[in-house]
Amino acid sequence: MSKINTPAATLREPAELIAHGFASATALSDLEHVAARYAVAVTPQMAALIDPTDAEDPIALQFIPSAEELVSGPGENADPIGDHAYSPVSGIVHRYPDRVLFKLVHVCAVYCRFCFRREMVGPGKATALSQDAYDKAIDYIREHSEIWEVILTGGDPLMLSPRRLTEVMADIAALDHVRIIRLHTRVPVADPSRVTREMIAALKVEGAATWVALHANHARELTHKARAACAGIIDAGIPMVSQSVLLRGVNDNAAALEALMRAFVESRIKPYYLHHGDLAPATAHLRTTLEHGQHLMRALRGRVSGICQPDYVLDIPGGHGKSPVGPGYLSPADSFSRGREPDAEKRYRILDYCGEVHLYPPKP
């Protein structure tokens, strides 16, 4: 892989991307239009992983803006998973009875070109909830004793300082009915140097169990430094799970997906979700079809152990929540073999990991 001119600081301007060889000079005008609408940030760690000579580099596709982001596709929506309809107070999304999203920070270490909250973390937006809105959000959680789990998301909660994160964790854990605090973050891969001893200490809190969900989409993101940052979190007694987005050109083949899931498990991170791409504005070029996603999940089942299997899920547009959309393996036998087997209608048809069909009897 050829690497040129790795930057010392996060790249935020199209001209900087061009100067470092990550985009063509002829694209400057288009990229400036994109950057005026959707935030751009490529950390030195992510920039160092990009091969600028590869037009299809899977890291570049995730972070380097493209002119395709000037074109919105059918069905795309500024609020693709319907957060707004379930937001009783600013910063809170209460879609499922026992848990809320708490979106208290609106900045990220990197900005993903497929981001489902790209309108929220974009240029000109507030960087965090105001103190008044924060207090109202905490009050809301306090008043709803059915809330068992608070999910800090964003933006990226690990962009807070350790001091502020300690305060936030303590405020939430002080609410007796909240037993779990989950943080969704890309920081351990995008900027592992932020995962300091102080940051890890801030994640631990009396009164609630902390879980961390790491967002990564390609095995190359799990660098030595990223794995060390995650090991520091896990060694502190905090379990980690993964979430990834199925992305065209990044991880939409069985080998890439297998390598990613193996990298998570080698890092002691349990694969949790593989999201089908949301209908975020101007992201059609990065999405695949649901059928292709199901095909990949079948392939993954044949290549790696159960511990490496994520749930393939789709957030239903309109705020109707997440549903598993992976392939089915079980169907009633009578739908395909009635008449050919004497009692086939009493059996199930089940596919094995090689795609072979077997019959299984129902409970008498």
Active site positions, annotated: 95-96, 99, 108, 112, 115, 117, 278, 315, 322
Nearer to ligand SF4, 115 or 314 (CB): 115
Nearer to ligand SF4, 299 or 315 (CB): 315
CB of 111 to ligand SF4, least distance (A): 5
Residue 175, both tokens: 């609410």
The contact pattern for ligand SF4, residues 310-339, with x = CB under 6 A and - = no contact, is: ------------------------------
CB of 228 to ligand SF4, least distance (A): 20
Binding residues for ligand SF4, total number by CB under 6 A: 11
CB of 136 to ligand SF4, least distance (A): 22
Nearer to ligand SF4, 23 or 158 (CB): 158
Nearer to ligand SF4, 99 or 186 (CB): 186
**3 state SS for the chain:** CCCCCCCCCCECCHHHHHHCCCCCHHHHHHHHHHHHHCCCCECHHHHCCCCCCCCCCCCHHHHCCCHHHHCCCCCCCCCCCCCHHHCCCCCEEEEECCEEEEECECCCCCCCCCCCCCCCCCCCCCCECCHHHHHHHHHHHHHCCCCCEEEEECCCHHHCCHHHHHHHHHHHHCCCCCCEEEEEECHHHHCHHHCCHHHHHHHCCCCCEEEEEEECCCHHHCCHHHHHHHHHHHHCCCCEEEEEECCCCCCCCHHHHHHHHHHHHHCCCEEEEEECCCCCCCCHHHCCCHHHHHHHHHHHHHHCCHHHCCEEEEECCCCCCEEECCCCCEEECHHHHECCECCHHHCEEEECCCCCEEEECCCC
CB of 238 to ligand SF4, least distance (A): 19
Nearer to ligand SF4, 95 or 215 (CB): 215
Q: Are 216 and 45 in contact (CB under 8 A)?
A: no
The contact pattern for ligand SF4, residues 55-84, with x = CB under 6 A and - = no contact, is: ------------------------------
Residue 180: which residues within 8 A CB-CB, separation 6 or more?
Answer: 148, 149, 150, 208, 209, 210, 211
When binding is defined by CB under 6 A, the residue of 186, 275, 287, 349 that contacts ligand SF4 is 186
Nearer to ligand SF4, 186 or 349 (CB): 186
CB of 40 to ligand SF4, least distance (A): 10
Nearer to ligand SF4, 92 or 333 (CB): 92
Q: Does 156 bind ligand SF4 (CB under 6 A)?
A: yes
Q: Could you tell me which stretch among 96-104, 139-147, 153-161, 334-342 binds ligand SF4 (CB under 6 A)? A: 153-161
CB of 121 to ligand SF4, least distance (A): 6
The contact pattern for ligand SF4, residues 104-143, with x = CB under 6 A and - = no contact, is: ----x--xx--x-x---x----------------------
CB of 156 to ligand SF4, least distance (A): 5
d(CA 268, CA 271): 9
Binding site for ligand SF4 (CB under 6 A): 108, 111-112, 115, 117, 121, 154-156, 186, 215
